[in-house]
């Protein structure tokens, strides 16, 4: 079986069984702690607004996500999530947002916007990979942010401009709550 390199093998091995809380790295004697994803059921509703369980609005969902990360940081279970880390990610989606806002055409998104969204998704996975390396034995705070906020899964449901705008506002609210509760610059 070809895995490309050691890290790729570890990542595939680590994520192959979601029932394990710890997974042993077969090439070292370190055990990585795995977090349990909170099921906030973040999704687009019939009005193209992002909501959570019990139709909780996206601002409140974002607050719950950041509180969870703060709790894990306080327990020293995950690495620090700096404002600059998530602002860099916001900058990528901001380009798409500006493009959508300036386009006065119909509400559906073009293949160009869809391609940009897919590229954004890949860049997010890259950021998760980088953060995993920095986290060492701890939980990756970037991965925790993306998993609990459902930010990556929401991309597949973006099919119009209103959803792009609401997606961007949801991401902004994550940053705002992060600044309020955690406030770390890097």
Question: Do you know the residue count of the chain?
Answer: 186
Q: With pLDDT > 70 as the criterion, what percentage of the chain qualifies?
A: 77
Using the CB atoms, write b or e for 126-144: b if 16+ within 10 Å.
Answer: ebbeebbeebeebbbbbbb
Tokens of 108: 């559906």
Residue 21 above 50 pLDDT? no
Which tops the pLDDT comparison, 180 or 37? 180
| Alpha carbon distance 53, 183 (integer Å) | 27
Arithmetic mean of pLDDT, 155-176: 94
How many other β-carbons are positioned within 10 Å of the β-carbon of residue 67? 14
Q: What is the pLDDT of residue 37?
A: 55
Return the SS3 of 156: coil
pLDDT for 78 beyond 60 = yes
Q: Which of the four pLDDT bands, split at 50, 70 and 90, describes residue 2?
A: very low
* Integer Cα distance of 90 and 86 in angstroms: 6
Residue 160 bridge partners (DSSP): 108
Is the per-residue pLDDT at 23 higher than 50? no
Element (H, E) at 76: none
Across the chain, what does the average pLDDT equal?
Answer: 79
Instruction: Give the H/E segment covering residue 33.
Output: strand 31-33
Q: Which residue has the higher pLDDT, 54 or 158?
A: 158
What pLDDT was estimated at residue 29? 37
Question: How many Cβ atoms are within 10 Å of 114's Cβ, its own excluded?
Answer: 15
Does residue 8 carry a pLDDT above 70? no
Stretch 33-50: mean pLDDT: 73
pLDDT at 38: 59
Between 118 and 71, the higher pLDDT residue: 118
């Amino acid at each position: 079986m070809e895995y490309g390199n050691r890290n790729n093998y570890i990542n595939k091995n680590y994520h192959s069984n979601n029932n394990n809380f710890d997974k042993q790295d077969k090439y070292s004697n370190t055990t990585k702690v795995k977090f349990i994803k909170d099921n906030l059921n973040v999704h687009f509703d019939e009005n193209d607004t992002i909501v959570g369980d019990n139709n909780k609005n996206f601002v409140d969902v974002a607050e719950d996500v950041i509180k969870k990360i703060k709790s894990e940081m306080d327990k020293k279970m995950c690495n620090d999530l700096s404002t600059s880390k998530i602002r860099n990610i916001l900058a990528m989606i901001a380009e798409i947002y500006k493009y959508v806002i300036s386009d006065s055409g119909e509400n559906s998104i073009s293949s160009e916007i869809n391609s940009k969204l897919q590229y954004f998704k890949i860049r997010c996975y890259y950021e998760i990979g980088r953060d995993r390396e920095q986290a060492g034995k701890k939980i990756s705070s970037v991965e925790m942010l993306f998993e609990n906020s459902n930010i990556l899964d929401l991309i597949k449901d973006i099919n119009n401009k209103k959803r792009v705008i609401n997606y961007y506002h949801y991401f902004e609210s994550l940053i705002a709550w992060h600044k309020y509760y955690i406030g770390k610059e890097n």
